[in-house]
Structure 1
Amino acid sequence: MFSLVRPLALRRAPLPLYNNALRAAAPSFNSIRIRTVASTVSGKPGSQSLGHAVTNAREEAGNTASDVAKTIAGSNMAQDATPSEASFTNITGAIASQVPQPVMVLGLAGALPYLGTSISSIYLARQAGIAASGGTPGVDPNLAIAILNDCLHIQVTYGAVLLSFLGALHWGLEFAGYGGRQGYPRLLLGLTPVLIAWPTLALSPPAALLAQWVGFTGLWWADQKTTTAGWAPRWFSQYRFYLSILIGTCMIGTVAGASFLGPVGGHSPVHHNLEVIRAERRKLHAENQGETYGDVESVSTGEEGDAYVRVQKRKEGDSDE
């Protein structure tokens, strides 16, 4: 309510000035009515045009990529190591720049045996597969299968050694007291890869490579957790992730090449050799069971036989007695 008595300052003012002051001070009915209407922005869709949709999609993809980069890095980054624009490329580059150069160079060099044996396995399996299908390979098939088996065993043995070495890194961090003394938890973590790696030597090469791939993946997950907890350097999780991707690609490529490009689709060359031996054995020893079509005859087995007669297929040219 507004007082009907004019203020002292306005008593001497002209009437129009007083009326204007009242209009400015009193809220209008239209303004009250407008304020009661809900905001029209909230009722609009998230993307009002194709351009807005593309922009929103790019922002969401960028945020997702940024979260992935942080997860790979262990979400344990210093403020000076992460740029203000936290994109996937910037986060990955900032963490990678912290890796000591000798560690980076020797780590990549450690993947060279995997690259060599993987490429050789795929090529040799392809050559043996061409020979088995009746084609003309560029390498003797027996030699290709022999070298292929050697490549598979080399890769499996090297994988067991490398997986054990990665576990030993945690023992070194414990000896150095990095992140404090953790005791049994960190020592047992370093021992687990050894228990996974060496039993794989008793498996066939494809099964051993798949088991080791699971071991490398699981160990990276553990390294990501230890990096987040501060048990390892900030760059350790990302460093291990990309090396594991490189090694895992070589291992899966070797298994796929030996299984699907080899002499027998879906099997390793070792199984192919066994099938060849079984086929030769079947040629030397006649089948003692099954069905025989055509004319048959009974032949006496003699005194040394374990039956009176033997039923066999009649040979061509034989006549009834």
Structure 2
Amino acid sequence: MNTVLSPLARAPARVLGLAGLIPFVGLTVAMYVDAAPRGWVALAQLAYAATIVSFIGALHWGLAMRDATLDRAALWQALGWGVLPSLLAWLALLAPLGTGFWLLCAAVPACWWMDARLARTLTLEPWYLQLRTLLSVIVTICLAASALALP
């Protein structure tokens, strides 16, 4: 049984994925507004980013557990990677703000790269990786811009 994402999932995934960018974009803009409490805004964005990075890792668990065609090594790789983003996100929350931002700024493209590998292995429809690419690019830009706004 190969994993196939339902064509019906495309529209909700796109709408909800794009809506998930609102905190990233809004908090990044707030980092550059003098009236905003920058420390609180930075922590809010870092916490949201950590949550999203953890969620992205969990996608590997869901996809891998549904596909009986994965061999033992591929299953270990998918499930093993699935927990790594959560650990990176946790470390980012424990680190100083700037370090946490840069850690997550690196984690998001790494997650995309692993998603691309799994998408090819599972032959997922192209729309999934296209959406993940768009979201990852915007999130990475927001995290980098916020990191640069820190004192």
* TM-score grouping bracket, smaller chain normalisation: 0.7 to 0.9
SS, match of residue 32 in structure 2: helix
Quote how far apart the aligned CAs of 1:155 are: 0.6
1:189 maps to which of 71, 81, 86: 81
Identity within the alignment, %: 27
- Give a deviation string over 1:192-221, Cα, whole Å, max 9, x none: 111211111111212211110100011111
What residue is the counterpart of 2:17 in the other structure? Answer: 107
Amino acid at match of 2:48: Y
For residues 200-239 of structure 1, the aligned pairs below 5 Å read 200-230=92-122, 232-239=124-131
Structure 1 pair 117–178 and aligned structure 2 pair: CA distance change class (3 A): farther
* C-alpha distance in structure 2 between counterparts of 1:231 and 1:213, whole Å: 27
* C-alpha distance in structure 2 between counterparts of 1:185 and 1:193, whole Å: 13
1:174 maps to which of 64, 75, 89: 64
* Number of residue-to-residue matches in the alignment: 143
Say which one has the larger Rg: 1
Amino acid at match of 2:47: T
TM-score, length-normalised on structure 2? Answer: 0.84
- Give a deviation string over 1:74-111, Cα, whole Å, max 9, x none: xxxxxxxxxxxxxxxxxxxxxxx997100000001111
SS, match of residue 251 in structure 1: helix
Structure 1 pair 99–246 and aligned structure 2 pair: CA distance change class (3 A): farther
RMSD over aligned Cα atoms: 2.1
Contact 2:60 2:79 (8 Å CA) reproduced = yes
Structure 1 pair 219–102 and aligned structure 2 pair: CA distance change class (3 A): same
* C-alpha distance in structure 2 between counterparts of 1:179 and 1:232, whole Å: 13
- Show structure 2 runs of 5+ residues with no match: 1-6
- Show structure 1 runs of 5+ residues with no match: 1-96, 125-138, 259-267, 269-321
* C-alpha distance in structure 2 between counterparts of 1:250 and 1:110, whole Å: 13
* C-alpha distance in structure 2 between counterparts of 1:112 and 1:198, whole Å: 22
What residue is the counterpart of 2:4 in the other structure? Answer: none
Contact 2:10 2:127 (8 Å CA) reproduced = no
Amino acid at match of 2:133: F
Quote how far apart the aligned CAs of 1:116 are: 1.2
Which structure: greater helix fraction?
2
Amino acid at match of 1:176: R
* C-alpha distance in structure 1 between counterparts of 2:69 and 2:138, whole Å: 28
SS, match of residue 126 in structure 2: coil
Contact 2:28 2:142 (8 Å CA) reproduced = yes
